[in-house]
Amino acid sequence: MNDANMQQAGNYDDCTHDCSSCGVDCPSRDGGIQKAQLNEYSSVKKVIGVVSGKGGVGKSMVTALSALAATRHGYRTGIMDADITGPSIPKMFGIHTKAYGSDYGIIPETTPTEINIMSINLLTENETDPVVWRGPVIGGVVEQFWTDVYWGDLDVLFIDMPPGTGDVPLTVFQSIPVDGIIVVTSPQDLVSMIVAKAVNMAKLMNIPVLGLVENMSYITCPDCGRRIEMFGPSQAEAVAAAYGIRLLEKLPIDPVLSQESDLGKIEFNEGTQMESILGVLDDLGLTV
């Protein structure tokens, strides 16, 4: 039976469970896991996952800056901090309050510019409490952030994904209907296989890669304004071209960004970083 017939008949007997050599959108591709239902009182038009091959490359920074750019341009925006073992979104936005329950679900925190934020740090008793849970429990919590949080009516929800290509990101991709991902990388990772792994995982899961961001790409000399590429000439264009994905931005190491993020004041950043996200939202058919 060919692929089209198989789909039509809902018959997947020939399935080899090797999705890399098959284009059929069968249950095996999703690991047989049903997508979770969004909180019944909420609506979210588009979901964008922000991923990285490993931690510490600026995934949360890019998530925050993307959300800020979207909000500034009139999109109703939320951030789901799915980096359960290393949550940093609340700290960047200076959020130290707790989420609370209501008849509609768990109420996320809303920032002064009205970005809705949910993170494990809004639920644990102390912000410094470590999360020492096994993968399935962490995956379950992220799923609950989708099913049980009252997000309201959002145009776009950015998910700060758990780093890497392991158990937890896999569960998130399987249980939440992600419309596409943005891959964040450092210059060194671009020349290694880390980016390739993230991109290939998205392909396996049938999730479009909406763009690549090279973070910490260069520094600008404070005296002469010259760009210094500390890790040698950027490979970002070449890597993006090799994988056929859009290079959204090359972000410099900017001490102002790290300071604002450390002080919980990222929302007051007046830069134009990650405005490239507007093109992505446009391509996804979102208009304001």
Sign of the dihedral through C-alpha 91, 251, 170, 167: negative
What SS3 state is found at 158? strand
Neighbouring residues of 22: CB distance < 8 A, sequence distance ≥ 6: 3, 15, 16
Closest CA to 61 of 223, 260, 285, 244: 260
Neighbouring residues of 155: CB distance < 8 A, sequence distance ≥ 6: 45, 46, 70, 75, 76, 77, 281, 286, 288
Write down the H helix ranges in 25-134: 59-72, 89-92
State the minimum distance, in angstroms, from the CB of residue 230 to ligand ADP: 12
61 lies in the site for ligand ADP, by CB under 6 A? yes
State the minimum distance, in angstroms, from the CB of residue 88 to ligand ADP: 4
Query: 3-state secondary structure string, 37-54?
Result: CCCCCCEEEEEEEEEECC
127 lies in the site for ligand ADP, by CB under 6 A? no
Number of H helices, E strands in the chain: 10, 12
Provide the CA 268 distance to its chain's centre, in angstroms: 21
Rg of the chain taking only CA atoms, in angstroms? 19
Which of positions 13-52 make contact with ligand ADP (CB under 6 A)? Answer: 52
258 lies in the site for ligand ADP, by CB under 6 A? yes
Among the listed residues 56, 135, 140, 166, the single contact to ligand ADP using CB under 6 A: 56
Among the listed residues 261, 269, 274, 280, the single contact to ligand ADP using CB under 6 A: 261
Q: Which is closer to ligand ADP, CB of 11 or CB of 272?
A: 272
Q: Which is closer to ligand ADP, CB of 60 or CB of 111?
A: 60
Among the listed residues 88, 116, 119, 121, the single contact to ligand ADP using CB under 6 A: 88
120 lies in the site for ligand ADP, by CB under 6 A? no
216 lies in the site for ligand ADP, by CB under 6 A? yes
Q: Which is closer to ligand ADP, CB of 256 or CB of 288?
A: 256
Task: Please identify, among the stretches 34-42, 136-144, 146-154, 248-256, the one whose residues bind ligand ADP according to the rule CB under 6 A.
Answer: 248-256
Neighbouring residues of 223: CB distance < 8 A, sequence distance ≥ 6: none
55 lies in the site for ligand ADP, by CB under 6 A? yes
185 lies in the site for ligand ADP, by CB under 6 A? no
Q: Which is closer to ligand ADP, CB of 56 or CB of 74?
A: 56
Instruction: Name the residues that contact ligand ADP, by CB under 6 A.
Output: 52, 55-61, 86, 88, 215-216, 251, 253-254, 257-258, 261
